[in-house]
Amino acid sequence: MGVVARRFVFGVAIWNLELGKTQIFPLHLFVIVIITVLQAPCSTLRRARLHPLPRRGAQSPRPQRSPQRPRRFPPRRRLRRGVPPSIWCAAAALPSADQQQQLRSSSSIRGRGGNNSDNLQTVLGSRGRGRPLLRSRAVVTRTMAAPVPIMVNDLTGKMGRAVADAVVARGGDTCFLVPVAFSGRAKPPVDVSGVMVEVSGLAGEGSNPGAVLEELKQKYPGLVVVDYTLPKAVNANADLYMAHGVPFVMGTTGGDRVKLFEDVRAAAHFAIIAPQMGKQVVAFQAAMKLMAENFPGAFKGCKLTVTESHQSSKVDTSGTAKALVESFNGLGCEFGISEVELVRDVPTQLGAMGVPEEHLVGHAFHTYRLTSPDGTVSFEFQHNVCGRSIYAEGTVDAALFLSNMVGGVGGAPRRGGGKTVYDMIDVLKEGGMVTN
């Protein structure tokens, strides 16, 4: 109230000065001083009444919280004696041993992708005063999901062996290597990083691959097969896997690809069919495919040359080159697969291609060169890969992705919207690739 009075008197004084009544101005100042002097003790008494000083020897009372001001934090709940709050809450969220076993055997809970919160809540229920248990997919499902059994055919070859080593290295609660593999003929057992694998024959006297697959399906629910055999065996092996209802990853190139896709789609069988398993190379393929779809005819009239160098054991044109040639043709080039230059001799690989000597037994050097009709403009696309680890890791990612699409160990198909045939671009879009 004193502040308002002072402001009012001061305003009247200024107004009188503007009117020329200077003799009244000192009176106004005197009134302002009187109001200030009278207000000071009143303010002091008000503060003393609201916050009285404690008597000598008495403890200072705690200030009372205003009833209009809400509590900033909820009241503490009574905790168990001797247990810190954070540990008790975490223990309350963890399932018991029986519940963990039920989670491991549940076919509807997977470790990769999917909406598992409802499944976890159904299995675990709730505990305490209506507090739900831990429903984090990233923590619970990855640690409690059953590992995926992966069968690698033929692991006696270089690519198959690299994939088998990658499966064992990935290991843990993610996947494991099935100790049985197919080859053209029965062979002695193979030691893969400590896992002894029996090699059964696909053909020959006494071989019965169908019976072997049925036995493995019963012993290893959720079985996924990886195929790195020979081009001439692609279609027959796919028929074998489809006949016994085993999802497969076809990494082998060659065979009748049109028939392969038609048969698998007609059977609505789960499979990944991809000529290229290296994730970075797949991303390049996807980019070229998008370019062809969005800019058709952009390189019309240009001359295309394709040169690929692989180890001498690879006899056919790579599926990567075939896929990229298709994209280049969509961009306006006219190029046939038979025109691809296959480099398999060591002197050319060491000289013109620049392949390191230590990688002659396992490499993939591809060069795609476009030249304008008048020869004044040229474009060159190149990807050089040494070793097989990029393909092996991508293959394991593909097998885990396929298991997730099928529904996991013993589960029913639950994802994909009716789609059953996938490629590595689908795996890339899922975002489950492991980066080397």
- Among residues 310, 359, 363, 383, which one is catalytic? 310
CA 42 – CA 23 distance, rounded (Å): 32
314 as an active site residue: the answer is: yes
CB 367 within 8 A of CB 382: yes
CA 197 – CA 395 distance, rounded (Å): 19
Around Cβ 133, how many Cβ atoms within 10 Å? 18
289 as an active site residue: the answer is: no
Q: How far is CA 301 from the centre of its chain?
A: 41
Helix 97-105, helix 117-124: angle, nearest 10: 140
Structure token digits, residue 218: 């019963």
| CA end-to-end distance (rounded Å), the chain | 75
- DSSP state, 358? G
Question: Closest by alpha carbon to 167, among 188, 146, 153, 151?
Answer: 151
Cα 65–Cα 69–Cα 72 angle in degrees, nearest 5? 90
Q: Give the torsion through C-alpha atoms of 38, 40, 46, 52, to 10 deg.
A: -130
CA 366 – CA 7 distance, rounded (Å): 88
* Distant-in-sequence, close-in-space partners of 40: CB < 8 Å, separation ≥ 6: none
CA 424 – CA 405 distance, rounded (Å): 13
* Distant-in-sequence, close-in-space partners of 285: CB < 8 Å, separation ≥ 6: 276, 320, 323, 324, 327, 425
Structure token digits, residue 395: 């293959």
CA 317 – CA 190 distance, rounded (Å): 29
CA 430 – CA 409 distance, rounded (Å): 19
- DSSP state, 81? T
Structure token digits, residue 377: 């403009």
- Among residues 314, 359, 366, 419, which one is catalytic? 314
For 162: left if phi > 0, alpha if psi spans -120 to 50, otherwise beta; the answer is alpha
CA 324 – CA 288 distance, rounded (Å): 7
Catalytic residues, by residue number, are 310, 314
